Amino acid sequence: MRILVTGGAGFLGSHLCERLLNEGHEVLCLDNFFTGRKDNIQHLLGNFRFELFRHDVVDPFKAEVDQIYNLACPASPIHYQYNPIKTTKTSVMGAINVLGLAKRVKARVLQASTSEVYGDPTEHPQTEAYRGNVNPIGPRACYDEGKRCAETLFFDYYRENGVDVRVARIFNTFGPRMLPNDGRVVSNFILQALKGEDITVYGDGSQTRSFCYVDDLVDGMYRLMSQTETVGPINLGNPGEYTMSELANRVIELTRSRSKIVYYPLPEDDPRQRQPDIALAQKYLGWEPKCRLDEGLKRTVDFFKDRFFSDT
């Protein structure tokens, strides 16, 4: 198949492009390189089944494809809050453009949605039936509400136009190729530990997240796209739940770092807890994560060591 991946030069997108090429598909990678890197896809450029387009999803585009994975959108709070209006435009107009394209060429289209649609959840763990607790006017709203509106568009195109949609609600994912400067907790803690700097825990460190290793996540997206039993939304994430203090200590142990933990104020609207209920993914996709947190952290530590500390 010919498959379009928007945001294909980003962290998840580049791993997805790799997986699709390994499955024998042709891949069109579209990216505006806001948070994506040529480095991430450098090794794919020589593959004759891989093509790269610099383009912004806010502007319409044409392509003859069988499937579309819509990943274009900055994902870390620092990057999506850098230009919040652009973030909402990317989610909403990007969704309209990929859905319009999917309608015209009759392509199946998957939306990379997010656990952020649940906001600061009052139900735990979060099932797909939970409608969320999002502050519509806070600093995270550009991302959360943009993604919620994109889901609305996906389901309206599905009901009104018969577009063959899939919606994945992705929980925190980590692994090689995370950007060192994107402020996400795993990359921050690992780099701080490797440099011997203080580990910056926000709040009292009791807030929780559930971390999925990138290969598992990509496998979940691929399975969702490849089946016809459900359009979703489907939670994709690792149900293993950790406090940020636990994560900091694990990273310190794994890197044998002498870094100390320091505490900073909790950012506004930072969700208290997050854990996916993955019963639907297990039922419809036969999917559950395989990589344990420690193993994934080791691989990510090796990546950052290689990339940034190889001559020390």
The H or E element that residue 94 is part of is helix 84-105
Q: Does 29 bind ligand NAD (CB under 6 A)?
A: no
Q: Does 169 bind ligand UDP (CB under 6 A)?
A: no
CA distance 221 to 226: 9
Q: Determine whether 143 is an active site residue.
A: yes
Sites for ligand NAD among residues 136-195 (CB under 6 A) = 170, 172-173
- Cα 171 vs. chain centroid, distance in angstroms? 7
Stretch that binds ligand NAD, among 51-59, 219-227, 255-263, 269-277 (CB under 6 A): 51-59
- Cα 295 vs. chain centroid, distance in angstroms? 19
* Closest among 134, 133, 127 to 237, alpha carbons compared: 127
Q: What single letter denotes the amino acid at residue 14?
A: S
Residue 287 vs residues 3, 66, 113, 220, 237: alpha-carbon distances, Å:
22, 24, 18, 6, 10
| Catalytic choice (143, 157, 213, 222) | 143
CA distance 252 to 274: 23
Instruction: Please say whether the beta carbons of 109 and 258 come within 8 A.
Output: no
Q: For the chain, how many residues are written? A: 312
Q: What is the DSSP letter of 266?
A: P
User: Residue 299 Cβ, how far from ligand NAD at the closest point, in Å?
Assistant: 15
Choice from 18, 56, 120, 216 touching ligand NAD (CB under 6 A): 56
CA distance 180 to 14: 16
User: Residue 264 Cβ, how far from ligand UDP at the closest point, in Å?
Assistant: 7
Q: Which is nearer to ligand NAD, 193 or 218 (CB)?
A: 218
Choice from 67, 88, 97, 114 touching ligand NAD (CB under 6 A): 114
Q: Does 185 bind ligand UDP (CB under 6 A)?
A: yes
Choice from 3, 9, 201, 297 touching ligand UDP (CB under 6 A): 201
Choice from 4, 20, 29, 71 touching ligand NAD (CB under 6 A): 71
CA distance 237 to 216: 8
Choice from 44, 57, 153, 199 touching ligand NAD (CB under 6 A): 57
In the complex, which residues of this chain contact ligand UDP (CB under 6 A)?
A: 76-77, 172, 183-185, 188, 200-202, 207, 209, 244, 266-267, 270
Which of the residues are catalytic? 143
In the complex, which residues of this chain contact ligand NAD (CB under 6 A)?
A: 6-7, 9-13, 31-36, 56-58, 71-75, 90, 112, 114, 170, 172-173
